[in-house]
Every structure is written in C-alpha cells, then in structure tokens.
Amino acid sequence: MSATVENFIEKQRPRLLEELKTFLAIPSVSTLPEHQGDIERASEFVAEKLRAAGLERVERIRTAGHPLVYGEWLKAPGKPTVLCYGHYDVQPPDPLDEWITPPFAPSLRDGNLYARGAADDKGQMYIHLKAAEALRAVAGRLPVNLKFLIEGEEEIGGQAVDRYVCENPEKLACDVALVSDTEMFAPGLPTLCDGLRGLLYTELTATGAAQE
C-alpha cells in the first residue's frame, strides 16, 4: 500500500468507520420475511456506496428473491479484470443473551468492531469497496478493471446469484474473482483461500416393517 493511500485512509478513518457502523446497523436478515424492508435498505446502501466510490453502471437487480447489486469500472485497457463478490445479508442474531452489546448496535471494544455481519460478510465486502474508493481518490483511476456483484441471499443458498451468473457470462467475465468471505488463521496473518466448498442437501427416508 502506498503512503498516499495510507494517508487517505488515516484522514478518512472517522468517516469510514461511521459508514461501516451505519451498514452494520441495518438488520438485513435474509431468512426472516419481516426484514424485507431492511434487505431493501441494505441493497440501496451498497448501491449508493458503489456510486460514491466511482463505480459506473451501478444497478440494483431485481430477482425472484432479494436484490443483487452490480457496479463496474472498466477504464484500464489491457489490464486484468477483477470481479469482487460479497453479500449484504446476515444470519439471525439469536441467541440474543450471548451478545455483550446488541447485534445491530455496532460496538468498538479493544480495537475490534462487534456487530452481526462485521465478519460475515459486510465488513469484508466494505473493505473491497473502500479500497476502490481510496485508489481512485489518490490516483484518479484504478490499476485494474473492476466489477462488483453483491448478493442478498448468501445465507439462504444464493439461488438468485447462481441463476444470474449463469445467465450473464459476458457481463461478469473476469480474469479472477475475489471473495473475502472466509477465515484468517490469526489476527494480522493474511490467509489466502484457493478453494471453497458448496452445499449438499439430502433427505433420507427409511422404511421397514409395519410392526415387529
């Protein structure tokens, strides 16, 4: 990271932190219908911040489920294209009595920010977005072409994004996909994950004698 980018981040740190807190305070629980309005607010927040970071063709894409959010910056001819993936939905925060502070009231303690979604996946996705903002702010452009595809159904299976990816191969074409929704071995030790597992749902039916 260049000194100029570091200076930008330090100067903007209060704003960046408050924006993240605002994002984390939205209870965008994808599994519960009563949070549909919060899902909408979270997707609108992502779209707004993509535009503020200088991304173009930003859109909230309606699906049969929760909206996808897309944005791009393709002004680096001859350079690779990076597709950043993330999700703005979160799991329910139960059991609530296990929380020291309310799950949707972000709390900074001992240098860590605690809230539902801080580590899965709003925090990581926010880093991608703000990295693009910082690079454009200090250099006026990005070193690579960049696309964002952010979903709101990762916690419930991701059916909408799966269908959208299959139906839009040219739009989402890239040289590499960047996903920061995994784990780190230890604080301060970056971890590179080169593979992800999927989900397999099964139903077993056992039949036997009607009586002993």
Tell how strand 107-109 and strand 112-114 pair up: antiparallel
**Structural contact between residues 38 and 161, judged by C-beta atoms closer than 8 angstroms:** no
Task: Give residues with Cβ within 8 angstroms of 194, minimum separation 6.
Answer: none
Q: 38, 89, 120, 133: which is the annotated catalytic residue?
A: 89
The CA distance from 44 to 59, in Å, is: 9
CB-based contact 148:60 (threshold 8 Å): no
Per the annotation, the verdict on 120 as an active-site residue is: no
Give the separation between CA 24 and CA 163, rounded to whole angstroms.
27
| Nearest CA among 135, 175, 129, 120 for reference residue 149 | 129
DSSP state, residue 189:
B
Q: Given 72, 120, 154, 155, which residue is catalytic?
A: 154
Active site residue 170: no
What is the rounded distance in angstroms from the CA atom of residue 3 to the CA atom of residue 164?
A: 39
For the record, the structure tokens of 126 come out as: 């926010």
Catalytically annotated residues: 89, 154
